[in-house]
Amino acid sequence: MRLLHSRNDTVVAFQEFQMYHCEQLPVNGYIMERKKRIYRNLKPLDEAKNIILDNFKNLSSGTETISVRRAAGRVTAKAAVALRSVPAYHASAMDGIAVKASDTFGALPEKPVTLKKSGHCMMIDTGDPLPDGADAVVMIEMVEEKAGGWEIREAAYPWRNVRRAGEDIVRGEIILPALRRLRPCDQAALLAAGVHEIEVVRSPRVLIIPTGTEIVIPEEAPEQLPAGAILEVDGCMLASMAEECGAVAEIHPPVCDVESDLERALGDALEKKYDLIMIIAGSSAGTEDFTPPLLERMGRLLVHGVTVMPGKPALMADIGGVPVAGIPGYPVSAAVAFREFVRPLLYSLQGLQTPKAETAKVTVGRKMPSKLGLEEHVRVIIGDIGGRLVATPLGGGAGVLSSVVRADGIIRIPQETGGISEGEQVDAELFATRDMIGCNLLAIGSHDLTIDLIGSMLKEKTGGAVKVSSTNVGSLGGLIALRKQTAHFAGAHLLDTETGDYNHSYIKRYLPSVPVRLITLVHRRQGLMVAAGNPKGIKSIDDLKRGDVVFVNRQPGSGTRILLDYELGRAGIAPTGISGYRNEEYTHMNIAMAVASGAADAGLGIHAAAQALDLDFIPVTMERYDLVIPEAVFNDEKIQLILEIIRTDEFKRQVLSLGGYNVNKTGMEA
């Protein structure tokens, strides 16, 4: 413990932040710090990777011999040598007559050569061995049978229409090299060459140990999850990621936040000779984070903390030659830590180079600020707009798993920069192929549940070929994205408070030089969402000014925010008079969740969101929600598929089942 008396002391304390977390306590005008050790030394990403790979460079998962029939997808440990030639004999390549080529010389359709049946001149089928003395085959279409022989109407040269012995594979030659991932055609070649068993790289055995007293196995969770409980989903994600790298993964039962329990589980894992162990959570700064000191006591802590976000608390240790990774508990951080450290190590254990992600040059559709000193991995949606790939960042921190589900790729922002400017061209790592990304439709704008429904039905209709990638920035943000040509279409419900019309006046104002088509998607009911049973007795907008009511709002620029301000003006209520007016969320479902969780007493949103979370709903108005589509892409086949879908009875039926919607004008131009 020490006191900060000057600016220099403050600077020194900041420089020590990599080693210590300082809880600041004001005492007699000074700031007292209670230090709690977190990271020994944050390391840049590349340096951390090099330390890990260099430490385990001589570590191997070993080899095993298995049946060729079971070897698809496995990696050859050494070159495979043919035990027999393919074909093993001279064989006919077609149905015809086996002949000695010199006997046919001069044969023409108008001047055939007649050959008598003999030991080497005989009828033969495709694949049959060539008789002794024969060195060619005349196809059956050029032969006419005569008494005791055949008329040959085409001359043959030696080895014509014959597969010679060893033409495909010669006994003793290498069929497949070492470190080749076996494909079905490779299996066929091995079996044809007499190879029935093959030595392959043994799949690394991986154990995943989830930790935390609050952890609940999803299949064992009660319908109503207790407050503080966390579903253990990282284990499944990490196990599948490990298996994508060729490993065999097991998930240990969750271990409570008791150091002796974790030590026992780790000791058992080491005895069972796993090739790699992952411990989920416990690597950061909490009072119950025992992983770092435990690993340091049992072995060597190679890396603890990296300058990457998300994923900063990741660690790696060497316990008796076994790699032990400390994986952060937040799902996105866990995925990043695996991708950057565990994945390369698993490939290294198999003697393989880590496959490189497909990359593409993209134009940044919205500014991406970043913290200096941390390499930030930003999840983005990507689409082809006017022949250029446009990437728009998705919101959400390390715990927002849905941001990874929705992402089309990531952009790495170097730690020495403060972000990426709008319009800048950078490389993005793709989660799908370039061709698949080219089939994406970028939807940026207002949130509505029907946009997700369109995306699902579009995937079904196209066999998964076309995808809607969306991000929610509000109706006004959607129009601005169209103006900047960073979206294919936008959802909007912007109320003109003077005329009562929707969207037209805003389009004239914000898209004066961008011709667009306005297609009505739905009419939907907006209202106040309140807890089930309406415990605060809220009846109208007027009740929001009550001191005992906490409100949750949408972000500026959203159609719902404009509607709220309009209704407040009509009621003569100042925004400053509402508790929670500055509490903002970006989607109707987030508003509903804030109310359902008790974080707020009321929020303005759509009926469907309230119904989804069993909230009470107080109607305020029925509004029109439109798709704003630039003329430049209106006739695009993918856009036309969307219009075709929303005009179907099935789409309308599913929309109505959500509650609070009217589809009488769905699909019509507004």
CATH code of 79's domain:
3.90.105.10
β-pair type (375-385, 388-393): antiparallel
For residue 28, the model assigns a pLDDT of 36
Distance, CA of 538 to CA of 135 (rounded, Å):
97
Question: Quick check: is 526 in a domain?
Answer: yes
Distance, CA of 385 to CA of 383 (rounded, Å):
6
Q: Report the candidate in 524, 519, 526 with the shortest Cα–Cα distance to residue 645.
A: 519
Q: Are residues 303 and 389 in the same domain?
A: no
CATH code of 123's domain:
2.170.190.11
For residue 12, the model assigns a pLDDT of 32
Q: Of 141, 163, 185, which closes a domain? A: 163
Question: Quick check: is 42 in a domain?
Answer: no
For residue 188, the model assigns a pLDDT of 96
With residues binned 3-state (H G I as helix, E B as strand, rest as coil), the percentages for the chain, rounded to 5, are 30, 30, 40
Question: Quick check: is 69 in a domain?
Answer: yes
First vs last C-alpha separation in the chain: 67
How many domains is the chain built from?
6
Record the tokens describing residue 8, joined without a space.
Answer: 């220099």
Question: Quick check: is 484 in a domain?
Answer: no
Distance, CA of 295 to CA of 301 (rounded, Å):
6
Burial of 129 (0-12, 13-18, 19+ CB in 10 A): middle
For residue 284, the model assigns a pLDDT of 62
Query: How far does Cα 416 stand from its chain's mean position?
Result: 27
Helix 649-658 / helix 449-461 crossing angle, nearest 10 deg: 150
Q: Are residues 177 and 212 in the same domain?
A: no
Question: Do 326 and 397 form a contact (C-beta atoms < 8 A)?
Answer: no
- What domain range is 264 assigned to? 205-349
Q: Are residues 144 and 180 in the same domain?
A: no
For residue 223, the model assigns a pLDDT of 85
DSSP labels for 12-65? Answer: HHHHGGGTEEEEEEEETTEEEEEEEE--S--B-HHHHHHHHHHHTTT----EEE
CATH code of 240's domain:
3.40.980.10
Q: Of 286, 315, 349, which closes a domain? A: 349
Q: Are residues 611 and 517 in the same domain?
A: yes
Helix (H) or strand (E) holding 11: helix 7-15
pLDDT digits (tens, 9 = 90+) for 505-521: 999 999 999 999 999 99
For residue 42, the model assigns a pLDDT of 87
Half-sphere exposure of 427 (CA within 13 A, CB side): 6
Q: Are residues 642 and 536 in the same domain?
A: yes
Question: Quick check: is 117 in a domain?
Answer: yes
β-pair type (516-530, 602-606): antiparallel
Q: Are residues 253 and 280 in the same domain?
A: yes
Distance, CA of 137 to CA of 401 (rounded, Å):
65
Q: Report the candidate in 541, 622, 618, 533 with the shortest Cα–Cα distance to residue 581.
A: 541
Which residue type, as a one-letter code, is found at position 209?
I
Q: In sequence order, what are the beta bridge partners of 529? A: 603, 617
Distance, CA of 380 to CA of 393 (rounded, Å):
4
Runs of H (alpha helix) within 464-578:
475-483, 504-510, 559-571
Distance, CA of 469 to CA of 634 (rounded, Å):
17
For residue 15, the model assigns a pLDDT of 32
Q: Are residues 301 and 258 in the same domain?
A: yes
Please tell me the total number of residues recorded for the chain in this structure. Answer: 670
Q: Are residues 610 and 544 in the same domain?
A: yes
pLDDT beneath 50: ranges in the chain = 1-38
Question: Do 141 and 40 form a contact (C-beta atoms < 8 A)?
Answer: no
Maximum pairwise Cα distance, the chain: 123
Q: Of 322, 349, 376, which closes a domain? A: 349
Q: Are residues 222 and 344 in the same domain?
A: yes
Question: Do 360 and 430 form a contact (C-beta atoms < 8 A)?
Answer: yes
CATH code of 420's domain:
2.40.340.10
| For residue 87, cis peptide bond before it (omega within 30 degrees of 0) | yes
Rg for the chain (alpha carbons), in Å? 34
| For residue 313, cis peptide bond before it (omega within 30 degrees of 0) | no
Q: Are residues 242 and 323 in the same domain?
A: yes
Q: In sequence order, what are the beta bridge partners of 472? A: 445
Sign of the Cα pseudo-torsion (192, 194, 200, 203, in order): positive
Q: Are residues 452 and 466 in the same domain?
A: yes
Q: Spell out where 117-259 has E strands.
A: 122-124, 136-139, 143-146, 149-152, 162-163, 174-176, 197-201, 205-210, 215-216, 230-231, 248-251
Question: Quick check: is 597 in a domain?
Answer: yes
Question: Quick check: is 354 in a domain?
Answer: no
Question: Quick check: is 47 in a domain?
Answer: no
Q: In sequence order, what are the beta bridge partners of 80? A: 176
Q: Are residues 172 and 139 in the same domain?
A: no
pLDDT digits (tens, 9 = 90+) for 141-160: 999 988 888 999 999 999 99
Query: How far does Cα 151 stand from its chain's mean position?
Result: 67
Distance, CA of 41 to CA of 616 (rounded, Å):
51
